[in-house]
Amino acid sequence: MKSFKFLAMLLLTALVSSAWATNKTLSGSESYEAQNGDVLTGLTSGTVTIANGAKITLSDVTISGGIVCSGTAEITLVGTNSVSGATNMAGIQVGGSGTTLTIKGNGSLNATGGSDAAGIGLNRAWDVDATGGDIVIEGGNITATGHDMGAGIGTGVSYGNGTDNTATIGNITIKGGTVTAIGGTNQYFPGSGIGKGGAYSYGNTVVGTITIYDDIDMVDASSISESIVYMHETTDVTESKADYFTIGEDGNRRLIVQKPVIADIPDQTYTGSEITPEPLVIAGSLNLTKGTDYVYSYTNNTNAGTATVRATFKGTYASLGYVEKTFRIIKLLTHSDITIAARICPFFS
């Protein structure tokens, strides 16, 4: 009997929980508190608050009053989504210390901070301390832009007004997806792409560990304020990161992708003219296009022997340099290439 009552309670709890889940179309200037299971769509100039522990979906939604995480939250991206912070607020404000914001899915997200705030992370901290939890990105095509002194992903500005104040955010972990992080462009105290926002007048910023896994498609950051821990599955490969990643540097910018590879080339037949195979160039799940993202060049590719094809990256990926592969050019034997040595019969010698 007790077992029956227990099962009945579980069923009732599940039914009540599912009753709260809803497909919510936002409109006008309404603000909304999202509950576990909610799917948000539409457009609002209001603020969306995510209840502690809730897992929600953004599905072709535009929110110009920002998203505030009350605690731990999970956001799944579907379609095309845009979130911008209200005045002094992050586009998506992470919960407090000890919480985790997880972003995943196959959709896109453009998150932009309000005045001096992060795209994803902390609000502007003006003459106050501010503390935020961890950020984990598992998937999606995400662009996070900080305003003026705000980081793309990380803290907003910390202004102490002559008194020590600190903006502190937890660990930032990127496990997958395509992430573009653009820090604010203040002339004196710019924000990082990933990590710290600007700090002045006794303001301070503290960022936890920044970790990037080799399941990413790409991380493109205007700058990264901290040292990076590079991971392959559960192994720290920071010391051997070149075996797993290619890291392009252009000033402060960092472009990080899975180590690009160029496909093997079968033996080619000598023709007397240049041989120009075009092997596939792969960097994780990136959709690389010949001519737009890379160009081929060749050396020693006419005569029989060993030739080389090089794919040099360009445009967005120019800082990645190049990858190359050798291949063989084989000259087939003809009658004129064959010499038969005559042997004189000893009987006639």
Phi-psi region of 311 (alpha: psi -120 to 50; beta: other; left: phi over 0): beta
| pLDDT in the model for residue 333 | 75
- Counting as low any pLDDT under 70, the low residues of the chain are 1-21, 334-349
Helix (H/G/I), strand (E/B), else coil: 319: helix
Structure tokens at 178: 């395509």
- Pick the closest to residue 103 from 130, 70, 66, 141 (CA basis): 141
Question: So what's the architecture of 261-330 in CATH?
Answer: Sandwich (2.60)
Distance of CA 341 to the CA centre of its chain: 67
pLDDT computed for residue 22 by the predictor: 86
pLDDT at site 17 = 45
- pLDDT at res. 349: 47
Domain-by-domain residue ranges, the chain?
Answer: 20-258, 261-330
pLDDT of residue 21: 60
Under DSSP, the state recorded for 106 is: S
CA distance 337 to 339: 7
User: Which pLDDT score is estimated for 10?
Assistant: 45
Instruction: Write down the pLDDT at residue 338.
Output: 61
Q: Name beta bridge partners: 256.
A: 219, 247
